[in-house]
A = this chain, B = another copy of it.
Amino acid sequence: MPLRPHKVTRLKDVAERAGVSTATVSRVLNDHGPASEEARSRVLRAVQDLDYHPNWLARSLRGRRTNTIGLVLPDIENPFFTSLVKGVEQAASAQGWNVIFCNTDEDIRREEALVRTLIDRKIDGLILCPTAGPHDYMAPYMERRLPVVTVNRALRDFPLPAVTSDNLQGAYEATRHLLAKGMRRLALILGTPNLSTTEDRLAGCRRAAQEFGLAPEDLLLTVGHARTAQGFQAAQDCLDMSPRPQAIFAFNNLMAEAALMAIHRRRIRCPADIALIGFDDFRSAAALTPPLTVVEQNPAGIGTRAVKELTRIIATGEATQALHLIPTRLIIRASCGCTAPAA
């Protein structure tokens, strides 16, 4: 028995059953152009009877519009991006848009291939979180004026609109919080170099340091590359410094968790011996011992905002180079040495 992958009821069948032409059926269904009450009701009736559903492929081919946007992210397993996906999905489906999602695994070549595939599939627009590396491949698409919005990370090579957290402000507030408690030896575990997120966060730390009269080089820098293993290593490097830093500020969720594990492993007390703050909240942050103080981001908000901006570009045809900053919030739990507010 062969599978019948595609439906067989066609617009033509509806037309025949209703005793009208295909044009009339189409006009009724799309509410586009005139149609008598008589014809309208007969068409609707026929659609019901036959359980007709339009062929999306034919419709898109003819209409040059797929109502689909592509979403290309580095790592879906990072809960930050997971929530971003969800935000995008909800905002998109609320407006009748579909989303095709892809994973680059932080591989620029894979990113290029995925974007290519999505464009071949005639997406109407693209939401992209660019991987580190040169984005020359984007040039032809830019000329074609493909609607693109970048999220989380801004791309310097091309003038594209970007929706990101207010990384500078978030890092500034976290750093200021530690400095205000009198700490002066602060160690930072940086994310992937040359990414706008890493640089903006570092700039925020530096601004706070300056306000408290520290020189830029007073901040102790290690590089964790945003991944658990390297974050763990970087945290160990911090703990090996002498004198030991009074606080560690890890630039993402994975590294903050890794840092806490490194601290536990050494049997150093947190926050008594060393304070810890992470960038980006995550589900388990409050369940850890001690509960983690973090800079909360709003990934779903970034997603919905990106959809909003993208659909605007698609509708109006005018792209701006605007940078949309989504606010962050410092969530004070116990790991920074404060007692958490009543839970």
Report whether A120 and B3 are in contact in the complex, using a CB–CB cutoff of 8 Å: no
| Chain B residues near A288 (CB-CB < 8 A) | 284, 287-289
CB proximity of A342 to chain B, nearest CB, Å: 12
Task: Report if A4-B60 is in contact (Cβ < 8 Å); known contacts: A260-B287, A288-B284, A289-B289.
Answer: no
A51-102: which have CB < 8 Å to B? 51, 53-58, 60-61, 64-66, 76-77, 79, 82-83, 85-86, 89, 98-102
Asked if A103 and B76 make an inter-chain contact with CB atoms under 8 angstroms apart, the answer reads no
Known: A6-B64, A287-B288, A288-B288. 19 other contacts (CB 8 A): A2-B317, A3-B314, A4-B144, A5-B65, A51-B140, A55-B61, A55-B122, A56-B122, A57-B61, A57-B66, A61-B61, A76-B82, A77-B83, A77-B86, A82-B82, A98-B100, A257-B287, A261-B286, A264-B289
Q: Is B61 within 8 A of A4, CB to CB?
A: no
Do the beta carbons of A1 and B145 come within 8 Å of each other? yes
- Does chain B have a CB within 8 A of A170? no
Q: Are B58 and A61 in contact (CB under 8 A)?
A: yes
**Given A76-B85, A86-B76, A284-B257, A3 and B147 contact (CB-CB distance below 8 Å):** yes
A3, A79, A254 — which one has the most chain B CB atoms within 10 A of its CB? A3
What B residues does A286 contact at CB under 8 A? Answer: 261
Chain B nearest CB, measured from A208 CB (Å): 28
Report the bound CA distance from A102 to B3 in whole Å: 24
**Chain B minimum-CB-distance residue to A114:** B93
Q: Is the C-beta of A121 less than 8 angstroms from some C-beta in chain B?
A: yes
What is the CA–CA distance of A311 and B227 in the complex, to the nearest angstrom?
A: 34
Residues of A within 8 A of B (CB): 1-7, 51, 53-58, 60-61, 64-66, 76-77, 79, 82-83, 85-86, 89, 98-103, 116-117, 119-122, 124, 140, 144-147, 254, 257, 260-261, 264, 282-284, 286-289, 313-314, 317
Q: How far is the CA of A56 from the CA of B123 in the complex (A)?
A: 11
Q: What chain B residues lie within 8 Å of A120 (beta carbons)? A: 53-56
Contact A145 B100 (CB under 8 A): no
Least CB separation from A103: chain B residue: B89
User: With the chains together, A79 CA to B260 CA distance in Å?
Assistant: 21
Determine the distance from Cα of A3 to Cα of B124 in the docked complex, in whole angstroms. 10
CB distance from A216 to the nearest CB of B (A): 32
A136 to chain B, nearest CB (A): 15
Partner pick for A86 among B89, B103, B119, B289, CB 8 A cutoff: B103
Most buried by B among A61, A66, A99, A284: A284
What are 18 A-B contacts with C-beta separation under 8 Å?
A1-B145, A5-B314, A6-B64, A6-B122, A7-B144, A54-B120, A55-B61, A57-B61, A57-B121, A76-B89, A89-B103, A100-B100, A257-B287, A260-B287, A261-B286, A284-B287, A284-B288, A289-B289
Residues of chain B lying within 8 A (CB to CB) of residue A76: 82, 85-86, 89
